[in-house]
Amino acid sequence: MSATAFEGTSEPAYGAPAPAEGRPLVEVRGLNVVFRKGRSLGAPRLVRAVNDVSFSIERGETLGLVGESGSGKSTTGRALLKLVPYTAGEVRVAGRDLSGLAGSELRRARRNMQMVFQDPYSSLDPSCTVAASIAEPLLVHERLAPREARARVTELLELVGLTGGHADRYPYEFSGGQRQRIAIARALALHPQFVVCDEAVSALDVSTQNQVINLLERLRAELHLSYLFIAHDLAVVRHISDRVAVMYLGRIVESGPTDRVYNRPAHPYTEALLSAIPDASPHRVKRERILLAGEPPDPANPPAGCPLQTRCRYVMDVCRQRMPEATPVHGGGEVACHLQTSGPNLSGAPLGGAATP
């Protein structure tokens, strides 16, 4: 199915026309998510899974989100869709502030935002045919007649590189890559503008990963989608993202254009993460492998000052006293590290020549 046909059948998923031309599609300011973890004795532990996070995503842009396990990537993605409640902050999608929305208004707003997970079974019921899974949002939200819904199912399957002949099969009859294509078709059924891909290709083998990434890129261009692309694999994120944000202990510690962040990281955490990627290019410069000492601190009891201080090879006294503020980086983006304001590396220079203590 052509992109035009797909778009042509769409009605604005948001009801009222977007009042936000010229503004980024997604605007996140000061987002906080706190989980209470119960304890049998004493007060519950408060886990700050997302801590004062701000970013924006332009229309048609992909923002990659990387960081170690537990850094808060999935919680950020889920909070954008209000799948977990946020305790403070503002999320705007297409100009609409989601904070106060609930019930039917929130359900309507969510049509414009979808999520694709690592495990396609999160969105595909194994006991339902592919047609039933993809048609469900069309029947519920667009109230299409069964015949119309069936035609749209075929269009959607063709859009993701499958055929109408696949519609009456069950998810277990497909390969992992095909199942992920079906999950993507379902996510696109209601014409969203924004899709959160949470480790969407992480469970696939390398060649299938490439195919699904190519599919996501084609769909982004044809349907003018914006993605938040969350993944552990920094090489995959580099390939697909226009900009990248790096999370540590619930905070974004660095962000910027992908090439700048990968070629000239300005935060010690980014530098350490990137040092672990094998570089397959023929012109590679041998990179020193930088190991972060120890484990991340308990998110319920983070240290005062910079969250990386217990593992950072550049740590200074000021790092234990004050939280570093976001500073512009030469070449684009921001970094939160005292090296860039009070250390040997001023004004957002890359880390290469920084002195070790």
Ligand X SMILES: Nc1ncnc2c1ncn2[C@@H]1O[C@H](COP(=O)(O)OP(=O)(O)OP(=O)(O)O)[C@@H](O)[C@H]1O
User: Binding to ligand SF4 (CB under 6 A): which residues in 149-188?
Assistant: none
* DSSP E strands, 130-288: 194-198, 226-230, 243-248, 251-257
Q: How far is CA 283 from CA 259, 279, 280, in A?
A: 16, 9, 9
Q: CB–CB of 49/299 below 8 Å?
A: yes
Kindly report the number of other CB atoms within 10 A of residue 246's CB atom: 27
Among 4, 40, 69, 163, binds ligand X (CB under 6 A): 69
Binding mask 27-46 for ligand X (x = CB under 6 A): --------x-x---------
67 binds ligand X (CB under 6 A): yes
Q: Which of 294, 296, 320, 317 is nearest to 306 (CA)?
A: 320
> What is the dihedral angle through the alpha carbons of 65, 70, 214, 271, rounded to the nearest 10 degrees?
50
154 binds Mg ion (CB under 5 A): no
What would the two tokens of residue 205 be? 């083998």
Nearest to ligand X of 51, 154 (CB atom)? 51
Among 314, 326, 329, 333, binds ligand SF4 (CB under 6 A): 314
Kindly report the number of other CB atoms within 10 A of residue 280's CB atom: 7
User: Binding to ligand SF4 (CB under 6 A): which residues in 249-308?
Assistant: 268, 306, 308
71 binds Mg ion (CB under 5 A): no
Residue 95 region, left (φ>0) first, then alpha (ψ -120 to 50), else beta?
left
Q: What is the closest distance, in whole angstroms, from the C-beta atom of residue 144 to ligand SF4 in the complex?
A: 52
338 is in the binding site of which of ligand SF4, Mg ion, ligand X, none (Cβ under 5 to 8 A by kind)?
A: ligand SF4
133 is in the binding site of which of Mg ion, ligand X, ligand SF4, none (Cβ under 5 to 8 A by kind)?
A: none
67 is in the binding site of which of ligand SF4, Mg ion, ligand X, none (Cβ under 5 to 8 A by kind)?
A: ligand X
Among 71, 74, 255, 258, binds Mg ion (CB under 5 A): 74
Q: Can you give the binding site for ligand X, defined by CB under 6 A? A: 35, 37, 47, 49, 67, 69-75, 232, 299
